[in-house]
Structure 1
Amino acid sequence: MTQQNNDQDYNAFLSAVANQKEVWILTDQHGSVMLNTDDEDCVPVWASEAEAAAWISDEWKDCEPEAIPLKVWQHRWTAGLEEDEFCVVVSPKENQDGLVIHPEDLDADLRKAIKKANS
């Protein structure tokens, strides 16, 4: 994947989340699904239920998409992920890595996207 595609996907994610005011994760009986990169433990997030559901397959077959209201994400999840030293992987797709980002950086970008959506 090229950096330009990654940037376009990330900007589309930010815009969609700012407009819909929710972030989608996958959960199972143990809580939020986690992914591991070479360097980071990450929580995958998507902008829509359909994108999150598309990730469900074999080893994830018991997962369900769950919407997190944006305010809850910003006030609870961002701090909690930072505290636990987790990153966020934005919109991973089958056979394609998503963008790995620190929760505080994602929060700052979401705040800019919300401001832009409300102007």
Structure 2
Amino acid sequence: MSDNELKSILELDCEERYDYFLSAVGEEKEIWILINSDKQFLKIYAEDDGFEYLPVWPNSEFASEYAKSAENLTPKCISLPEFFDKWVPGLMKDTIEIGVLPGLDSDVWVTPPTEFQKDVQDELSNF
């Protein structure tokens, strides 16, 4: 993906990025997160709203672009079966939401893990 393509997608509003994410994940069947050198995943605390979320991306390029402004973060791939079987229940237990494809405007589509899983599974039925 070229830098221009990457930038144009990141400039979309959060709902359009969510739709793009669903389509891309439907094709690739994997989700990308960021981890630090201790293998701990990045989670963001939304101070204004008082909740935490796990940012996710449809490929390593988007995750890497986001990590440019942070030190010590590396993209990590998670297969959809693993995400659904292990991550969704864990996120629910820890009351952590999912932030889908954060953009350049710092807006992000935040959704509960079970709703996220349902949307991805609905998208997978199109393939």
Mapping for residues 9-88 of structure 1, pairs under 5 Å: 9-30=17-38, 31-37=40-46, 38=48, 39-58=50-69, 60-88=70-98
| Unpaired runs of at least 5, structure 2 | 1-11
SS at match of 2:104: coil
Which of structure 1's runs of 4+ aligned residues deviate more than 6 A? none
* 5+ long unaligned stretches in structure 1: none
Cα deviations by residue, 1:69-107 (Å, 9 ceiling, x for unpaired): 111001110110001000010001233221011000000
Relative to structure 1, the CA distance from residue 5 to residue 57 in structure 2 (aligned partners, 3 Å threshold; closer, same or farther) is closer
Preserved contact between residue 55 and residue 101 of structure 2 (Cα < 8 Å)? yes
Residue type of the alignment partner of 1:44: P
Q: Distance in 2 between matches of 1:97 and 1:70?
A: 24
CA distance in 1, matches of 2:20, 2:105: 19
The answer to whether the Cα contact below 8 Å between 2:33 and 2:75 also exists between their aligned partners in 1 is yes
**Count of residue pairs the alignment pairs up:** 113
TM-score, length-scaled by structure 1: 0.88
Secondary structure of residue in 1 paired with 2:55: strand
Q: Which residue is 2:125 aligned to?
A: 115
Q: Distance in 2 between matches of 1:81 and 1:105?
A: 12
Q: TM-score, normalised by structure 2?
A: 0.83
1:11-45 C-alpha deviation (Å, 9 max, x unpaired): 11011111101000000024101111122101100
- Could you say if the C-alpha distance between residues 7 and 95 of structure 1 is closer, same or farther in structure 2, counting changes exceeding 3 Å? closer
Question: Which amino acid in 2 is paired with 1:115?
Answer: S
Structure 1 residues 92-107: aligned runs within 5 Å: 92-107=102-117
Q: Between 93-102 and 45-54, report the one with greater CA deviation.
A: 93-102
Q: What is aligned with 2:8?
A: none
Q: Return the alpha-carbon distance in structure 1 between the equivalents of residues 41 and 23 of structure 2.
A: 23
Q: What's the RMSD between the two structures over aligned residues?
A: 1.4
